[in-house]
C-alpha cells in the first residue's frame, strides 16, 4: 500500500493489528478487500496493475508539483507509462470494466487524474480509438486539471458552495493548463485541445468557449464523462461518494445535454455498477458478495450469499428473477 507520493505505507503480507489499521484509516482509505475462504471465487482485477498505477500516480504528482514552479518532467517518462496503460485497455477491450472502487482520498487530485485517464482509456478503446489516439487521450487524462495548480488552493479545496466570483476563477483552469502545456511541453495538439475543452458541454453550455457537439474534440467529450463519473463516485471534502448506479443514472439523464450520447451509450453498456469483491444487499434482505459481472447485464451480477455460501447468478438463475440489488456497500 502506497501513499500518493509513492512511499510505502504497508508491505505485502503485513498482518493487520490495531496500529496498522490506524495507519490505513488515517490515510482516508474507506475500506479494504479481504481475501479469505469465502471470497476465493471473487477475482478482483483492476484495469491496470498496482505497479502501473503507482508509477502513474508518481508521474502525475511530479508533473503537478513541478508545474507550480514552472518546471517540467521528462516527456519520455510520461509516454512510457501512458503506452503501458494504452496496451492494457486495448487488450481488455472486450472485458467488462471493473474499476476498483476502494481507493485513498488523500492526494485527491493525483488519484482523480489517474482514474480519469484509465476510465477515459477504457471508454476510448471501446469506442474504437487507435493506439495513437488512446495515447493522447490518456495523456490528456493525466494532465486535464494541471491548470488548477495556478489557482488559489483555498478556492480549489473550499468545503462549501463557491461564490459566483470564485466559480469564474475556477473556470480559468482549462485555459491555464492548455497554455502551460503548450509553452512547456511538446504534446500533440489533440492532447492540448482535450485539456482545454474538458469542461465543454455537448449542448454548448459549458466553458471556456461554449462550443458544442463535434466542435468539441472527441477526446474532450470522453474526458468530460470520465471526469464527472470519477468526481461523483469519489469522496470529496464537500460530499460523500455517490453509488456508481446513481452516477450512471445522472449521466444518462444528461445525455445530449452535458454529455456526448455516443460516449454515454458505451458507458451504460460496459461499466459495471457492482464491482467484483463488493458487498451488496438483495431485495429479500440477504447480504452477498459480488463475484462476477456480465456484459450487457450490468444490473445483475453473480453473487455469493454471506450466510449460506449459496451462489446466485442474478442474470440467469430463473428462481432469482424476482431478486434485485437494493444496496451497495462501499
* Chain residues that interact with Fe ion, rule: CB under 5 A: 145
- 6/329 Cα distance (integer angstroms): 28
CA distances for 22 relative to 9, 18, 19, 102, 259, angstroms: 11, 6, 5, 17, 41
Smallest separation, CB 117 to Fe ion (Å): 13
Write phi, then psi, for 327 (nearest 5 degrees).
-155, 145
Residue 237 beta carbon to Fe ion: minimum distance, rounded to whole angstroms: 16
- The separation between the first and the last C-alpha atoms of the chain, rounded to the nearest angstrom, is 19
- Compare residues 89 and 226 and give the one whose CB is closer to Fe ion: 226
Q: Would you name the residues annotated as active-site residues? A: 148
Q: State which residue, 145 or 258, has the beta carbon closest to Fe ion.
A: 145
Answer whether 198's CB lies under 8 Å from 227's CB.
yes
> Rounded distance, CA 201 to CA 210, Å?
7
CA distances to 143, 200, 211, 227 from 196, in Å = 10, 9, 11, 14
Q: Are 267 and 120 in contact (CB under 8 A)?
A: no
Q: Phi/psi class of residue 242: alpha, beta or left (left: φ > 0; alpha: ψ in -120 to 50)?
A: beta
Return the residue nearest Fe ion (CB atom): 145
Among residues 35 and 168, whose Cβ is nearest to Fe ion?
Answer: 168
Taking the complex as a whole, the smallest distance from the CB of residue 253 to Fe ion amounts, in Å, to 21
Q: Give the phi and the psi of residue 312 in degrees, each rounded to 5.
A: -125, 125
Closest contact distance (angstroms) between CB of 178 and Fe ion is 11
Residues in the chain: 330
CB nearer Fe ion, residue 145 or residue 255: 145
Helix (H, G, I), strand (E, B) or coil at 78: helix
Output 136 or 230, the one with its CB closest to Fe ion.
Answer: 230
Smallest gap from residue 199 Cβ to Fe ion (A): 6
Nearer CB in complex with Fe ion: 145/270: 145
**Kind and range of the H or E element at 244?**
helix 244-253
Cβ 80 to Fe ion shortest distance, Å: 25
Give the contacts of 38 (CB within 8 A, at least 6 positions apart). 289, 304, 306, 309
The answer to whether residues 28 and 104 touch, using CB atoms and an 8 Å cutoff, is yes
Amino acid at each position: 500500500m502506497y501513499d500518493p507520493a509513492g512511499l510505502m505505507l504497508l508491505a505485502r503480507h503485513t498482518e493487520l493489528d490495531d496500529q496498522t489499521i490506524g495507519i490505513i484509516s488515517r490515510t482516508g482509505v474507506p475500506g479494504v478487500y479481504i481475501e479469505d475462504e469465502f471470497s476465493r471465487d471473487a477475482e478482483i482485477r483492476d484495469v491496470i496493475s498496482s505497479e502501473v498505477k503507482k508509477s502513474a500516480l508518481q508521474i502525475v504528482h511530479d508533473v503537478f508539483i513541478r508545474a507550480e514552479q514552472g518546471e517540467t518532467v521528462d516527456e519520455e517518462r510520461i509516454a512510457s507509462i501512458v503506452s503501458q496503460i494504452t496496451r492494457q485497455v486495448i487488450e481488455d477491450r472486450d472485458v467488462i470494466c471493473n474499476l476498483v472502487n476502494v481507493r485513498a482520498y488523500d492526494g485527491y487530485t493525483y488519484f482523480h487524474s489517474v482514474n480519469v485517464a484509465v476510465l477515459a482509456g477504457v471508454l476510448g478503446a471501446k469506442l474504437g480509438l487507435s493506439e495513437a489516439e488512446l495515447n493522447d487521450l490518456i495523456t490528456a487524462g493525466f494532465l486535464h486539471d494541471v491548470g488548477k495548480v495556478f489557482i488559489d488552493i483555498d478556492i480549489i479545496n473550499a468545503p462549501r458552495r463557491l461564490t459566483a466570483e470564485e466559480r469564474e476563477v475556477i473556470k480559468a483552469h482549462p485555459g491555464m493548463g492548455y497554455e502551460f502545456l503548450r509553452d512547456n511541453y511538446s504534446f500533440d495538439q489533440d492532447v492540448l485541445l482535450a485539456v482545454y475543452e474538458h469542461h465543454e458541454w455537448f449542448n454548448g453550455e459549458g466553458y471556456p468557449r461554449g462550443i458544442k457537439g463535434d466542435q468539441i474534440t472527441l477526446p474532450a467529450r470522453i474526458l468530460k464523462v470520465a471526469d464527472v463519473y470519477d468526481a461523483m463516485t469519489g469522496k470529496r471534502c464537500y460530499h460523500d461518494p455517490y453509488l456508481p448506479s446513481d452516477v450512471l443514472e445522472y449521466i444518462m439523464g444528461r445525455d445530449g445535454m452535458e454529455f456526448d450520447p455516443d460516449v454515454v451509450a458505451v458507458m451504460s453498456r460496459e461499466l459495471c455498477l457492482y464491482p467484483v469483491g463488493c458487498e451488496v444487499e438483495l431485495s429479500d434482505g440477504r447480504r452477498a458478495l459480488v463475484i462476477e459481472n456480465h456484459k450487457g447485464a450490468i444490473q445483475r451480477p453473480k453473487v455469493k450469499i454471506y450466510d449460506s455460501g449459496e451462489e446466485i447468478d442474478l442474470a440467469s438463475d430463473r428462481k432469482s428473477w424476482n431478486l434485485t440489488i437494493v444496496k451497495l456497500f462501499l
